[in-house]
Amino acid sequence: MSITAAYLTVIIIWSTTPLAIQWSSAGVGYEFGVALRMVIGLSVLLLIVKLWRQPLPWDKHNLQIYLSGGLPLFIAMSMVYWSAQFIPSGWISVIFGLTPLFTSLFASLILGEKSFTTGKTIGMLLGLAGLAIVFQESLSFEQAAWWGVAGVSISSLVHSLSTVLIKKLNPTIPAIS
C-alpha cells in the first residue's frame, strides 16, 4: 500500500469513527455498540492472523502485551461510546486531540523520554489553544456535556497510557498478532 493510500485510509477511518460510534449506539445503548465493535474487531484480527499465518504466542511476556493493549482499549472505547450520549461526534474527534499531549507526558514519566522539547512543547500548546478556541463558545454548556467531555478525555488518557506501557514492554511480535 502506498503512503498516500495509507494516509487517506487513516483519515477516512478516524474521521468517521465518532459518527459510527453514535450511529451504532442509537436505540440499543452504548454497551451493545462497544461490545459488538470489540467482537467484530477481535474476529477480524484472528481471521487475519490465521490467513497470514502469523504466530500468536501465549507466553507470559506476550500475555502482558495483549492485556496492556486489549483491556485499556476496551475501557477507552467504552468511555467514548458512553460519552457519545452527551456530546456531538465532532467533539469526540476534537477532544481526542489531547492524545499526543497525554502520550508525551506518559512517555516522559514512564520511559524517561525527552518528549517535551521546545518544538514539541510549542506544538502541544498550539494544539491546546486550538481546543480552547473550538470550545470557547461552548464553555457554558449543560452538565451532561461536561460528562461527555470528561469521558472522552479519560478515554484519551487511558489510550495514551496503554500505548506507552506497550512500548515499555518492548514487544517483539508483529503488530498484527
Which grid coordinates belong to 98?
Answer: 489531547
What digits encode the pLDDT tens for the residues 10-69?
A: 888 777 777 777 777 777 888 888 888 889 889 998 999 999 998 889 999 999 999 999
Q: Global pTM?
A: 0.81
| pLDDT computed for residue 111 by the predictor | 96
Check: CB of residue 145 under 8 Å from CB of residue 87: yes
Domain map (residue ranges) of the chain: 3-169
Q: Rounded CA gap, 110 and 28, in Å? A: 39
pLDDT grade for 162, boundaries at 50, 70 and 90: very high
